[in-house]
Amino acid sequence: MSAALLGGFALAAAPLGLLIGLGFWTRWLARRTTAPTYAALVGYAVACLASAPILWGLGKAVVAAIGSGLESADERRRVLAMVIAQVFYGDLLGSVVALAGSVWLAFWTWRSRRKAV
CA triple 70-74-79, angle to 5 deg: 60
The pTM (predicted TM-score) of the whole model is: 0.76
Predicted local confidence at residue 1, as pLDDT: 52
pLDDT tens-digit profile of 59-117?
Answer: 887 777 776 666 777 877 787 788 878 888 888 898 899 999 999 999 998 988 765 44
Predicted local confidence at residue 15, as pLDDT: 82
Task: Please report, for residues 48, 64, 79, the alpha-carbon distance to residue 67 in angstroms, rounded to integers and kept in the order given.
Answer: 27, 6, 12
> Is the C-alpha dihedral spanning 73, 78, 83, 84 positive or negative?
positive
The predicted model gives 9-19 an average pLDDT of: 76
DSSP 68: -
**Element holding 113 (H helix, E strand):** helix 73-116
Predicted local confidence at residue 116, as pLDDT: 46
pLDDT tens-digit profile of 23-64?
Answer: 999 999 999 888 888 988 999 999 999 889 888 887 887 777
Predicted local confidence at residue 104, as pLDDT: 92
